[in-house]
Structure 1
Amino acid sequence: MILGNVHSLETMGMVDGPGIRVVVFLQGCRLRCLFCHNPDTWQEQGGTQMTPEEVTRKVLRCRPYFSRGGGVTFSGGEPLLQPEFLLETLQLCKKAGIHTCLDTAGYGCGSYDEILQYTDLVLYDVKQITEESYHCMTGQSLTETTHFLAAVKKAGTPVWVRHVVVPGLTDGEAHMQALRTFIDKKVPNVQKVELLPYHLLGVHKYKVLGIPYRLAGTPAMDPSLTEQWQRCYFPVNKGERNPTPEQTGGTVK
């Protein structure tokens, strides 16, 4: 019997893919991003152990909310670190006609092809854009996430890029231009790019867990400035709605 370590489930997610979604947060992450607001998901051995069938039943309870293009999003932590559990749960959700989304930094265990067969949409987190800056931001190399992007390209899975804008680290005109170039050259199948302003909502978790917060003193990012860069470098037409599951290769039931 396959068991997964589930941190939590959010049943009315509005920002993790198209429509209203169930968001399944899985335990475990190899990255230690400076801006991480979920340090409580770093350790894989934690949360609640659940079977793929148990998770799928909870997702199906919310099916009435999916009529306008919702579904399930697997997040974390890094969901790819529990590949067997993730794959079986994705298969069950797809069999039930549920649109599936993966919120990931692309930093799992190196085997992604089968998982992507059952993934309708990837929310891909661009942490940084050079080997040096990526290592400084996450403590890891770009190698594994580059491997993941190659698998996404092969699978043809649609991608929404997300990038956290941190004052002094991932902000400014020069960075936005370099980010635009990186995405154009390195990230396949991109449908949209979302800039997310850095916030301080998760700082209290570090105190509770006794973990030093390495961005102490860094202010929250100005949302209006982030929005200006969004309009300039990654414009979205006014009034544009998120793509439906049909547009992202999924199924509405």
Structure 2
Amino acid sequence: MIKGKIHSIESMGLVDGPGIRVVVFFQGCKLRCAYCHNPDTWDCNNSGTETSAEELIKKILRFKPYFEKSGGGVTFSGGEPLLQPEFLIECLKLCKENGIHTTLDTAGYGLGAYEEILEYVDLILFDIKHIKREAYKQLTLSEVDESIKFLEVAQKLNKKLWIRHVVVPGITDSEKHLEELGQYILNIKNVEKVELLPYHVLGVNKYENMNMKYRLKDVKPMDKEYTKVWQDKINNMLKK
């Protein structure tokens, strides 16, 4: 029986894909994004609750009457779900067997087996950290290559995508960057919509509690109206 590590489960998610969704947050992430508000999901060795795919699906099925009516389903998020490929595949297979819509929320930074994983995925929420190689590394402390590799597989398999991008003051908020982001997204197939997420500071206290340095300590929250204007602009570009 394949087991995996889960950080938490949200039973009534409204912002992680279409309809009402059960959101399963996987434990473990290799990226170290400067703005991450869930550093407690990073460690996969000493944290998280171990569970089998069968046990997890039993919990999810309890909520099926609620999310099914809304056109919802299950979103596997994290952390980074792609770091537990065997467990993720088993969960996705069981969802499909039970007629549940599946969404994968990912930065594309996993361990491979992407074709098999995506065979059972209906929608990808793909998180673009940055479109420039050096800036990506500064922001995440990792190289962008694995993320590009995942996106190439998703494109080959014609998977539906929602693109997500965090807008951070002084890092990803310039008009030049957002214009280039829009052009970059236009070259990705099957993008249904773009969600620009304004940077916030709601997770800063976690760093303090975990005795960790927060790299964006003096950065103020992003203006939501500015973010919305650019989100609309990019989505309008997609429609043309």
Normalised to the residue count of structure 2, the TM-score between the two structures is: 0.96
Where in structure 2 are the equivalents of 1:26-175 lying within 5 Å?
26-45=26-45, 46-66=47-67, 67-175=69-177
- Hey, what does 1:19 align to over in structure 2? 19
Aligned partner of residue 15 in structure 1, secondary structure: coil
Q: Matched residues in 1 for 2:96 and 2:237: separation? A: 29
Q: Matched residues in 2 for 1:155 and 1:43: separation? A: 31
Q: Matched residues in 1 for 2:33 and 2:220: separation? A: 16
Larger RCO (CA under 8 A, 6+ residues apart): 1
What are the superposed Cα offsets for residues 86-126 of structure 1, whole Å, 9 maximum, x if unpaired? 00000001100000000000000022001000000000000
CA contact (8 A) 1:107 1:145 kept: yes
Aligned partner of residue 105 in structure 2, secondary structure: strand
- Pairwise CA distance, 1:229: 1.2
User: Percent of aligned positions with the same letter in both sequences?
Assistant: 56
- Hey, what does 1:184 align to over in structure 2? 186
Q: Which moved more, 1:147-156 or 1:79-88?
A: 147-156
Normalised to the residue count of structure 1, the TM-score between the two structures is: 0.91
- Pairwise CA distance, 1:139: 0.8
**1:62 alignment partner AA:** F
Q: Matched residues in 1 for 2:237 and 2:39: separation? A: 32
**1:26 alignment partner AA:** F
Stretches of structure 2 that go unaligned for 5 or more consecutive residues are none
- Pairwise CA distance, 1:38: 0.6
Aligned partner of residue 194 in structure 1, secondary structure: strand
Q: Matched residues in 2 for 1:221 and 1:236: separation? A: 23
Q: Matched residues in 2 for 1:63 and 1:195: separation? A: 29
CA contact (8 A) 2:37 2:204 kept: yes
What are the superposed Cα offsets for residues 119-153 of structure 1, whole Å, 9 maximum, x if unpaired? 00000000000111110111111110111011101
Aligned partner of residue 199 in structure 1, secondary structure: coil
Stretches of structure 1 that go unaligned for 5 or more consecutive residues are 238-253
CA contact (8 A) 2:198 2:224 kept: yes
Q: Matched residues in 1 for 2:234 and 2:149: separation? A: 26
**1:36 alignment partner AA:** C
